[in-house]
Chains A and B, each alone.
Chain A
């Protein structure tokens, strides 16, 4: 008898959580504890040596957080995952686990602003250099590869550039150079896109967005695909005795989840950006309805995009779900929907865009995405403010761009609010 391949709707509710071994509780208990007792000194030693599985301290692992880790791993079709206090923490841990001073990264230019700052400024301080390339051109990634390149980093769907990455093509480039492809899959969520199945090796999420889904809770997740050959000679930290953890050889000992174990023991344990059990529980409440919500986000976003496209007060609309979008075919090939995020420009430019944002009645002016509420923002003055104008344009952020994260309100009501705000902006 072979095991059934369960669908995402079932995994979103069940993966990682079976009834509690101690109590039989059906819903997930919140293990709000910093630490866990040892049965004996021998048990403690075995746990510290990783010779048995168990919990020691909630900065390393926690049974409530572990459910979120396994659930996102299952939804992504991954081998294992590790959660973190935020999406930025997840991204930082994924990179810091495999990179060291002297290494080089090739990254998409069209990235979330915080990711650009991490790569261009923060990691540069530690001697890790990044080359940013045009995310629409796999050959640009190939041209930027160097002998010391150790990772390729990109977003499956760019925030807020809406650039769709040809994941399979960029994965081929990375693998031809023996390095992993790391994908930020926050905007599509695992429901709409599974980069691991397209050849990516590691996926990171800001769980704050669609996974949690209600604008309440920060969190992040790093997922490992389990297929990357870490023993190809380029990653001695995966194959040699760990300086950071008792001489353990992570790849030899843990095989296809060796990266996750190393990320947990050398990055999460040391940098300390652990997710609170209560936050993990709140994010999981959101994950249970992810499939229902994502379909509605996509439906509403397409409705908004079509409305804006037909409106004479609007200069341009960028939503890969539109049939005439230059990347529509690629989006359809590797995604099950274009998500709830889109951007547009109000005719007249920056001043009219700002007026639009300030004229909204229930659309919220703030810098988050993936909420039940419709959110609007002006990236050039907020999320991408730290970048100069050239960097902003490289990140796909023109000065007049308005970003909308389309929520789950009634579509006609959303269109009504957009219409009245456009009216005021265009006066």
Chain B
């Protein structure tokens, strides 16, 4: 999936609402980095973390679990240990999300298979922020090999 630029581009273009499971409210944590980046690039972030349930993170209401969210989310972005992902994947299927995205360092194969069986897109062990910046610009400014060879401007 990592090198399938077309699939990643399609996923990021078709998922305007992202539930971030395990989002920290501490500014120096990777989950906060990634969510803040996505928010500043036009995505609606839905914090999911029982620690802050009922409060706000990044100006958005935080929910205890995916099933508590009273509206549709497109992507479930997971910042939890790999062994904790399977129940989150089950909930993601139940709430009708289109994509299960396991973050850098997170890769639960059963959860990945479950999401695919349910017809969802599934990405493992990648950072949503890094992939967005790779495909839509920004990552190239810090010298990362984006793998993009093209005669078209980034759109």
User: Is B28 at the interface (CB under 8 A from chain A)?
Assistant: yes
User: Is B78 at the interface (CB under 8 A from chain A)?
Assistant: no
CB under 8 Å from chain A, chain B span 131-155? 133, 137-154
Which of chain A's residues have a CB closer than 8 A to the CB of B113? Answer: none
| Size of interface on B: residues with Cβ below 8 Å to A | 36
A70 touches B153 (CB 8 A): no
Q: When each residue 233-249 of chain A gets 1 if its CB lies under 8 Å from chain B and 0 otherwise, what string results?
A: 00000000100001111
Taking a contact as CB atoms closer than 8 A, the residue among B137, B146, B152 that contacts A70 in the complex is: B146
User: Is B104 at the interface (CB under 8 A from chain A)?
Assistant: yes
CB under 8 Å from chain B, chain A span 172-198? none
Known interface pairs A52-B138, A53-B133, A255-B104; A264-B30 also in contact (CB < 8 Å): no
Query: Measured between alpha carbons, how far is A61 from B138 in the docked complex, in Å?
Result: 11
A66 touches B141 (CB 8 A): yes
A52 touches B153 (CB 8 A): no
B140 touches A55 (CB 8 A): no
Closest beta carbon of chain A to B80's beta carbon, Å:
14
Closest beta carbon of chain B to A259's beta carbon, Å:
11
> Who on chain B is nearest to A221 by CB?
B143
Most buried by B among A24, A69, A70, A254: A70
User: Is A19 at the interface (CB under 8 A from chain B)?
Assistant: yes
User: Is A114 at the interface (CB under 8 A from chain B)?
Assistant: no
B3 touches A49 (CB 8 A): no
> Who on chain B is nearest to A67 by CB?
B140
User: Is B40 at the interface (CB under 8 A from chain A)?
Assistant: yes
User: Is B52 at the interface (CB under 8 A from chain A)?
Assistant: no
B153 touches A24 (CB 8 A): yes
A78 touches B151 (CB 8 A): no
Which of chain B's residues have a CB closer than 8 A to the CB of A241? Answer: 28
Query: Measured between alpha carbons, how far is A26 from B105 in the docked complex, in Å?
Result: 37
Which of chain B's residues have a CB closer than 8 A to the CB of A10? Answer: 149
Which of chain B's residues have a CB closer than 8 A to the CB of A70? Answer: 140, 143-146
User: Is B5 at the interface (CB under 8 A from chain A)?
Assistant: yes
Q: When each residue 8-27 of chain A gets 1 if its CB lies under 8 Å from chain B and 0 otherwise, what string results?
A: 00110011101111001010
Closest beta carbon of chain A to B41's beta carbon, Å:
8
A19 touches B143 (CB 8 A): no
Which of chain A's residues have a CB closer than 8 A to the CB of B116? Answer: none
Most buried by A among B6, B137, B153, B154: B153
Closest beta carbon of chain B to A24's beta carbon, Å:
6
Stretch of A80-88, A379-387, A413-421 lying at the B interface: A80-88
> Who on chain A is nearest to B37 by CB?
A52
A80 touches B145 (CB 8 A): yes
Query: Measured between alpha carbons, how far is A15 from B143 in the docked complex, in Å?
Result: 11
CB under 8 Å from chain A, chain B span 92-110? 104-105
> Who on chain A is nearest to B154 by CB?
A21
Most buried by B among A6, A49, A53, A260: A53
Known interface pairs A69-B143, A264-B142; A248-B28 also in contact (CB < 8 Å): yes
Which of chain B's residues have a CB closer than 8 A to the CB of A73? Answer: 143-145
Query: Measured between alpha carbons, how far is A16 from B134 in the docked complex, in Å?
Result: 11
User: Is B36 at the interface (CB under 8 A from chain A)?
Assistant: yes
Which of chain A's residues have a CB closer than 8 A to the CB of B37? Answer: 46, 51-53
Query: Measured between alpha carbons, how far is A43 from B37 in the docked complex, in Å?
Result: 10
B141 touches A19 (CB 8 A): no
Query: Measured between alpha carbons, how far is A73 from B146 in the docked complex, in Å?
Result: 10
> Who on chain B is nearest to A254 by CB?
B130
A19 touches B151 (CB 8 A): yes
User: Is A63 at the interface (CB under 8 A from chain B)?
Assistant: yes
B140 touches A16 (CB 8 A): yes
B5 touches A15 (CB 8 A): no
Which of chain B's residues have a CB closer than 8 A to the CB of A49? Answer: 27-28, 33
Closest beta carbon of chain B to A204's beta carbon, Å:
14
User: Is A291 at the interface (CB under 8 A from chain B)?
Assistant: no
Query: Measured between alpha carbons, how far is A10 from B151 in the docked complex, in Å?
Result: 12
> Who on chain A is nearest to B143 by CB?
A69
Most buried by B among A16, A246, A249: A16
Which of chain B's residues have a CB closer than 8 A to the CB of A78? Answer: 145
User: Is A79 at the interface (CB under 8 A from chain B)?
Assistant: yes
B149 touches A66 (CB 8 A): no
B3 touches A2 (CB 8 A): yes
Which of chain A's residues have a CB closer than 8 A to the CB of B23? Answer: none
B143 touches A264 (CB 8 A): yes
B141 touches A61 (CB 8 A): yes
User: Is B127 at the interface (CB under 8 A from chain A)?
Assistant: yes
B145 touches A18 (CB 8 A): no
> Which residues of B approach A to under 8 Å, CB–CB?
3-7, 27-28, 30, 32-33, 36-37, 40, 104-105, 127, 130, 133, 137-154
A-B contact pairs, 15 of them (CB 8 A): A6-B149, A16-B140, A16-B145, A18-B151, A18-B153, A19-B153, A46-B40, A52-B138, A53-B133, A73-B145, A74-B145, A82-B143, A247-B28, A249-B28, A255-B127
Known: A14-B149, A61-B142. 7 other contacts (CB 8 A): A3-B147, A18-B153, A18-B154, A19-B151, A24-B153, A80-B143, A260-B143
Leading 10 A-B pairs by shortest Cβ distance: A69-B143, A53-B138, A73-B145, A80-B144, A255-B104, A81-B143, A14-B149, A253-B30, A51-B36, A3-B3
> Which residues of A approach B to under 8 Å, CB–CB?
1-4, 6, 10-11, 14-16, 18-21, 24, 26, 43, 46, 49-55, 61, 63, 66-67, 69-70, 73-74, 78-83, 241, 246-249, 252-255, 257, 260-261, 264
